């Protein structure tokens, strides 16, 4: 990172004259943010619509561990099937389109970063993305074990019927540290 005669550090866009010509005002930044958010939203809507076409297959993939005789899935209210399809399509759309909206975020943030900052951010983003994908794969891998465990806790003579909507919500959410520390634990007072 080079210093200008005035002591300021130059950005990665070039020399200081070039930097001044590329500087944007507050309203220009807001406009660019608006355009990028709109693009990201439209990309997500298109990805979700594409995934909606395949939502039945995706739901079949997520529910394939339910063995006949050990439990079943049921729709407990009239709109549950529709809502489950939409949620599944939305989550799949987020996964499918994430590179595109990450590119929008990066396109907005990167011009304001120094070269050294960019060198640090890129490996962190790839490492975090990899860790997220590994965590999702791990969760999917232990899902049959969790289902078998929960089904084994039933009382003899009680038929096990799971709500498809609640099962899908279980897959898409996980307890956060806040949930574990505040809402599920008794207070110490």
- Asked whether the predicted pLDDT for residue 26 surpasses 80, the reply is yes
- pLDDT at position 146 is 84
Let me know how many helices (H) and strands (E) the chain has, helices first.
7, 2
Tens of pLDDT, residue by residue over 54-68, are 999 999 888 887 766
Percent of the chain scoring above 90 in pLDDT: 25
The pair of structure tokens assigned to 174 is 């996980």
- Cα(136)–Cα(172) distance, rounded to whole angstroms? 10
Q: Indicate the helix (H) or strand (E) that contains 161.
A: strand 161-163
- Reported as a pLDDT band with limits 50, 70 and 90, residue 48 is very high
Q: Which has more pLDDT, 9 or 74?
A: 74
- Residues 6 or more apart whose CB falls under 8 angstroms from that of 97 comprise 43, 44, 46, 47
CA distance linking residue 110 with residue 44, whole number of Å: 22
pTM: 0.70
Which tens digits make up the pLDDT trace of 71-122? Answer: 788 898 899 999 999 999 999 999 899 888 888 888 888 888 888 888 888 8
Q: By C-alpha distance, which of 6, 18, 172 is closest to 90? A: 172
Query: In percent, how much of the chain has pLDDT > 70?
Result: 78
């Amino acid at each position: 990172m080079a210093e200008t005669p005035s002591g300021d550090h130059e950005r990665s866009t070039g020399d200081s004259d070039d930097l001044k010509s590329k500087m944007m005002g507050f309203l220009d930044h807001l406009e660019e943010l608006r355009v990028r958010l709109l693009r990201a939203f439209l990309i997500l809507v298109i990805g979700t619509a594409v995934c909606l076409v395949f939502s039945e297959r995706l739901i079949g993939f997520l529910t394939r561990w339910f063995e006949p005789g050990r439990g079943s899935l049921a729709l407990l209210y009239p709109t549950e099937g529709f809502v489950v399809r939409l949620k599944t399509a939305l989550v799949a759309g987020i996964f499918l389109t994430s590179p595109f909206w990450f590119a929008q975020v990066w396109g907005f943030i990167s011009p304001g970063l120094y070269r050294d900052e960019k060198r640090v951010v890129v490996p962190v983003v790839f490492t975090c993305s990899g860790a997220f994908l590994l965590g999702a794969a791990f969760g999917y891998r232990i899902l049959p074990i969790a289902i078998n465990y929960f089904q084994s806790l039933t009382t003899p003579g009680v038929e096990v019927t799971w709500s498809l909507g609640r099962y899908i919500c279980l897959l898409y959410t996980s307890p956060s540290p806040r949930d574990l520390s505040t809402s599920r634990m008794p207070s110490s007072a």
